[in-house]
Amino acid sequence: MKRIIHLSNILRDKGVPVSVRGTMDASEAYRIFKGRPELRDALFSVYVKDVRYAGAFMEAYEEVFGIPAESESEGSGASEGLHHLKASENFSGNSEVEMGIEEIAQLKPEIEELADPSMDVAAVMDRDMSTLNSFDPEIFELCRRLGIKIANRRSRRLRQSRRMKPDIRRSIRKNIKHGGTVLELIRSEPRERKSQHIFLSDVSGSCDWISNWFFCIIYAAQRTFYRSRFFDFDSRIVETTHLLDEDDLYDAFRNLRESRIRNLMIHGTSNMYTAFRDFIEGVTFTGKSYIVILSDCRDWAGPRRDGIPESVELVAEMSERARKVLILNPEPEKKWDVVDSCVSLYRDAGASVMEVRTLRQLAEVIERL
């Protein structure tokens, strides 16, 4: 117990949040795994609730137990447990794909160093998202924090909406019988909001990285959305809602990239007609559903009739059946309706289109949903 308390104190000195319950759990883990190679992994799972603190834990563990990470056997369970986030072996044979997964595997150690990021947040928030097209751990961490902030603000707004404010109209009608001499206050009933949110993310080449940051923010803010569902699409549509259930954003992000590789959705082209058709035929939504589409509205490969993309008819059908169809366009407005952009056509079909060229704009729109 003394060694565990010493370890907890060292971690606190390094800025790692350690509770009394955490120390008790670590003591129990030490009792079970004492002298076994799995001890480090067991303590890691107890103490490290955020990947940013993984490096501090490794230093503290070595200081208390005197076992450098490099000296442990490569075949031990501890080594496999802490280094399981490596490039997937299911996609060997494609060097470009393997490089992408390898880069993702290298992202986590960089995030661990971001306990106190020194980046210019305001500059990044107002930066064009089309330029945020790399595995930048600072952007990754910023999206996570944005999602949490959005969730907190949405929760606060929901709590305020449940407060029973005075209903002036009903109070006046109720007190007509008193001639206005006695005021019997009638309070309004809280509004029930059970609107479903369905997110469709364009993962074609022009929106690939923007869709990554979109997913990160939705992941962190998901608890405030009722029965939300998430889909990727290019020439077809693939549901990735189950990835929102991952315990860690990094794991969800890594699995999202692997899902796109499995479904050959990396640097693809948009065929919104087939994607929206499959969505309408395969997904149930009602008049209480909000359909939020992240897309630049450029139906590159979709069929056209008299020069008009046939996907416009499908957008009209979604707008008619759903409560609202909202398209988040990462392109600046000056590029809308230029060349093959069909923003006006989608608007005429009933969809609302908003510019989300920066992370700030994207976060503000998601917060207001």
Query: What is the extent of the structural domain holding 19?
Result: 2-82
With respect to residue 96, please indicate whether it lies within any of the assigned structural domains: no
Q: Answer yes or no: do 74 and 176 share one domain.
A: no
Q: Answer yes or no: do 173 and 250 share one domain.
A: no
Domain end among 14, 48, 82: 82
Q: Answer yes or no: do 200 and 340 share one domain.
A: yes
Q: Answer yes or no: do 228 and 325 share one domain.
A: yes
SS3 call for 79: helix
- The pLDDT, as a whole number, for residue 265 is 79
Q: Answer yes or no: do 289 and 177 share one domain.
A: no
Nearest Cα residue to 103 out of 126, 91, 85: 85
With respect to residue 228, please indicate whether it lies within any of the assigned structural domains: yes
Q: Answer yes or no: do 200 and 189 share one domain.
A: no
Query: Does 70 have pLDDT greater than 90?
Result: no
Q: Looking at the 3D structure of the chain, how many domains does it have?
A: 3
Residue entry with tokens 């117990």? 1
- Report the distance separating Cα 103 and Cα 120, nearest Å: 24
- The pLDDT, as a whole number, for residue 93 is 36
Q: Answer yes or no: do 184 and 279 share one domain.
A: no
Q: Answer yes or no: do 175 and 231 share one domain.
A: no
| Confidence band of 81 (pLDDT split at 50, 70, 90) | very low
Output the CA–CA distances (angstroms, integers) from residue 156 to 12, 153, 161, 172, 228, in the order listed: 31, 5, 9, 30, 19
Query: E-strand spans in the chain?
Result: 196-202, 226-233, 237-239, 289-294, 304-305, 308-309, 324-329, 352-355
With respect to residue 248, please indicate whether it lies within any of the assigned structural domains: yes
Q: Answer yes or no: do 176 and 246 share one domain.
A: no
Q: Please say whether the beta carbons of 299 and 273 come within 8 A.
A: yes
Q: Answer yes or no: do 182 and 76 share one domain.
A: no
- Report the distance separating Cα 327 and Cα 297, nearest Å: 8
Q: Answer yes or no: do 204 and 345 share one domain.
A: yes
Q: Which of the listed ranges 34-43, 99-108, 307-316, 330-339 does the model predict with the highest average pLDDT?
A: 307-316
pTM above threshold 0.95: no
Q: Which of the listed ranges 4-8, 150-154, 168-172, 173-177 does the model predict with the highest average pLDDT?
A: 4-8
Of 298 and 173, which is predicted with more confidence? 298
With respect to residue 303, please indicate whether it lies within any of the assigned structural domains: yes
* Mean pLDDT for all residues in the chain: 76
Q: Please say whether the beta carbons of 140 and 214 come within 8 A.
A: no
Q: Answer yes or no: do 227 and 311 share one domain.
A: yes
